[in-house]
């Protein structure tokens, strides 16, 4: 299934909503603490759930949050002054925030942030309380879900911070694994984000079953669970199908039951019919096979044999 693109005005609005939250948290280091996000949203629900990005309102929100925190626990203000972080007016109250000692399952982390995404996107509000079955057709539901996922990706990967970090690394599965560890997110969601935002050159990611060890429910007509094109891939390689990609992957993959499954060159045609070479690499995490394909070069046209 090809991922639904979030673009244009909606993408801009979601980016702005998320960057307000990141600024409100004082631009934290990864991994993002979701307890802190929830606490910030609780303290000023109204401001963080509006597309308002005016500086004055941001300042008023900081004051409101600072006041609420001060009233709840006056020593917080003293902490803030001590740490010279008064400008942020946001010191997470670790006594109030119940930090879950158990390591949260990575998948829950994504699901929870997806829900936070719905809750901060103002135009999702009418869909969240009504009978979604009747108010949303399938396409509309797909868009709403894609937008919540987009917000989750923006938030969990701290926007520009992840873009800077990933651009400094080569486009390999190893880099994706490293970034997943740094940001405390799943390898799949990290791969997704890596493709969506970071690359100028055409790239594609595929999440599928093990190409050489299909399970009984494998559907050969829809072999990819997710087919994630980068913006430039979407633009220039719009006719490439998941069947072509999967056939290319199957070609070089080994039968190994875990870890690196192999790498190889895959030829793909652009929208004008010219062939290009992509370097593909696959990894099996024992549940899903993750593949990263990045553009290498244009195919040389027929080479005369002398």
Residues that bind Zn ion (CB under 5 A): 145, 148
CB of 141: closest distance to Zn ion in angstroms?
9
CB of 145: closest distance to Zn ion in angstroms?
5
124: Cβ–Cβ under 8 A, 6 or more apart, which residues?
A: 118, 144, 147, 148
Nearer to Zn ion, 148 or 268 (CB): 148
Q: Nearest-CB residue to Zn ion?
A: 148
Q: What is the DSSP string of the chain?
A: -BPPP--HHHHHHHHHHHHHHHHHTTSPPSSP-HHHHHHHHHHTHHHHTS----HHHHHHHHHHHHHHHHHH-THHHHHHHHTT-TTTT----TTTS----SPPPHHHHHHHHHHHHHHH-GGGHHHHHS-HHHH--HHHHHHHHHHHHHHHHHHHTTTHHHHHHHHTS-SSHHHHHHHHHHHT--HHHHHHHHHHHS-SS-EEEEEES-TTS--TT--TTS-EEEEEE-HHHHHH-TT--HHHHHHHHHHH----SSEEEEEEEEEEE-TTS-EEEEEEEEEE-SS-EEEEEEEEEEPPP-PPP-
Tokens representing residue 149 in the block: 């996922």
Nearer to Zn ion, 145 or 265 (CB): 145
Asked if 243 and 208 count as a contact pair (C-beta separation under 8 A), the reply is no
Asked if 53 and 16 count as a contact pair (C-beta separation under 8 A), the reply is yes
Nearer to Zn ion, 11 or 88 (CB): 11
Nearer to Zn ion, 58 or 145 (CB): 145
CB of 194: closest distance to Zn ion in angstroms?
22
Q: Give the residues across from 224 on adjacent strands.
A: 208
CB of 33: closest distance to Zn ion in angstroms?
22
Nearer to Zn ion, 44 or 145 (CB): 145
Nearer to Zn ion, 65 or 148 (CB): 148
Tokens representing residue 22 in the block: 């990141």
CB of 38: closest distance to Zn ion in angstroms?
17
CB of 147: closest distance to Zn ion in angstroms?
9
Nearer to Zn ion, 52 or 145 (CB): 145
CB of 120: closest distance to Zn ion in angstroms?
13
Nearer to Zn ion, 137 or 301 (CB): 137
CB of 118: closest distance to Zn ion in angstroms?
6
């Amino acid at each position: 299934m090809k991922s639904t693109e979030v673009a244009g005005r909606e993408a801009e609005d979601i980016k702005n909503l998320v960057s307000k939250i990141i600024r409100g948290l004082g631009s934290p280091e990864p991994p993002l603490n979701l307890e802190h996000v929830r606490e910030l949203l609780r303290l000023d629900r109204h401001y963080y759930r509006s597309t308002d990005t005016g500086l004055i309102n941001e300042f008023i929100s900081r004051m409101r949050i600072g006041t609420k925190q001060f009233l709840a626990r006056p020593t917080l203000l003293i902490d803030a002054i001590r740490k010279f972080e008064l400008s942020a007016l946001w010191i997470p109250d670790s006594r109030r925030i119940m930090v879950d000692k158990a390591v949260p399952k990575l998948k829950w982390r994504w699901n929870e942030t997806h829900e936070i995404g719905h809750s901060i996107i103002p135009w999702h509000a009418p869909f969240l309380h009504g009978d979604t079955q009747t108010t949303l057709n399938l396409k509309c539901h797909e868009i709403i879900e894609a937008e919540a996922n987009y917000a989750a990706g923006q938030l969990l990967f701290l926007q520009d911070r992840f873009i800077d970090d990933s651009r400094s690394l080569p486009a390999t599965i190893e880099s994706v694994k490293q970034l997943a560890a740094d940001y405390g997110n799943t390898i799949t969601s990290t791969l997704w984000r890596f493709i969506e935002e970071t690359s100028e050159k055409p790239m594609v990611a595929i999440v599928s079953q093990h190409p050489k060890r299909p399970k009984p429910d494998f559907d050969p007509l829809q072999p990819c669970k997710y087919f994630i094109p980068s913006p430039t891939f979407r633009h220039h390689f719009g006719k490439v199908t998941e069947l072509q990609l999967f056939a290319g992957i199957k070609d070089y993959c080994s039968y190994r039951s875990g870890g690196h499954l192999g790498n190889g060159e895959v030829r793909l045609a652009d929208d004008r019919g010219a062939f290009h070479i992509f370097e593909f690499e696959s990894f099996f995490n024992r549940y899903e096979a993750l593949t990263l394909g990045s553009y290498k070069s244009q195919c040389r046209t027929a080479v005369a044999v002398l």
